[in-house]
Amino acid sequence: MQLVIGNKNYSSWSMRPWVLMRQAGIAFEEVKLRFDAFTPDSEFKTRLARISPAGRVPVLLDGELAVWDTLAIAEYLAERLPALQLWPADVAARARARSVCAEMHSGFGALRSAFPMNIEARLPEVGERVLAEQAAVRADRERLVQMWSGLLEASGGPLLFGAFTIADAYFAPVVMRFVTYGVPLPPRITAYVERVRALPGVAAWVDDALAEQDFLDFEEPYRTRR
């Protein structure tokens, strides 16, 4: 299988299936398409159009099959490799895991917009200002704290459903956003953030992101090139 992704420092959507596959030990070849621009005539869009009709990363290629959208990729891998138990084994827990992933997939727009993923940066002053000024971002943070607290309480930890699942991979980009913007969190949630950062799959993605050193002005709403 091949996984087509964007820049690791910025591409939160690409991070999810990459971390999932790396952490679960699924063999794949990485194909990275650099973000040069998102206009129809950009090299990124031109190359991606040959792979996926959606024109977005990530894309999973398995032989002649192209699977796009992070949730579709996760479901495909779970069906194709059932022995890995990428979703929780318990029916009720599996339903909850799918529910929270779907909520992340379609929601938290205020937090995503105000806190774009930027692994290399450290912007706590931005985080403090945004949280003070934007009630919708505060609400997104509180919902995540509530969600994660309930799941950790129910499972007993250390991860959302006990052992690593698609859900932890799905929330890894949010974890990195919280780190970048110095978002204050309760101690139990801070501990979960640190456990996710320490996962080998997440740590490998972060190392690669830091090694890119590819500053893209259009991905940097809070900084200018140094």
Q: What is the model's pTM?
A: 0.96
Can you list the positions of beta strands (E) in 49-172? 59-62, 65-68
Exposure on the CB side of residue 55, measured as CA atoms within 13 A = 11
For the chain, state the CA radius of gyration.
17
CATH 1.20.1050.10 domain extents, the chain: 91-207
Q: 10 Å Cβ neighbour count for 73?
A: 23
Domain 2-84 class in CATH:
alpha beta
* Predicted pLDDT of residue 53: 87
Sign of the alpha-carbon dihedral angle for 210, 168, 67, 38: negative
8-state DSSP, 79: H
> CATH 3.40.30.10 spans which residues of the chain?
2-84
Q: Write down the pLDDT at residue 225.
A: 75
Closest CA to 129 of 13, 224, 221, 226: 221
* The pLDDT value given to residue 123: 98
pLDDT in single tens digits along all 226 residues of the chain: 999 999 999 999 999 999 999 999 999 999 999 999 999 999 999 999 999 989 999 999 999 999 999 999 999 999 999 999 999 999 999 999 999 999 999 999 999 999 999 999 999 999 999 999 999 999 999 999 999 999 999 999 999 999 999 999 999 999 999 999 999 999 999 999 999 999 999 999 999 999 999 999 999 999 987 5
Q: What is the pLDDT of residue 226?
A: 59
How far apart, in whole angstroms, are the C-alpha atoms of residue 11 and residue 92?
Answer: 31
- Domain covering 91-207: architecture: Up-down Bundle (1.20)
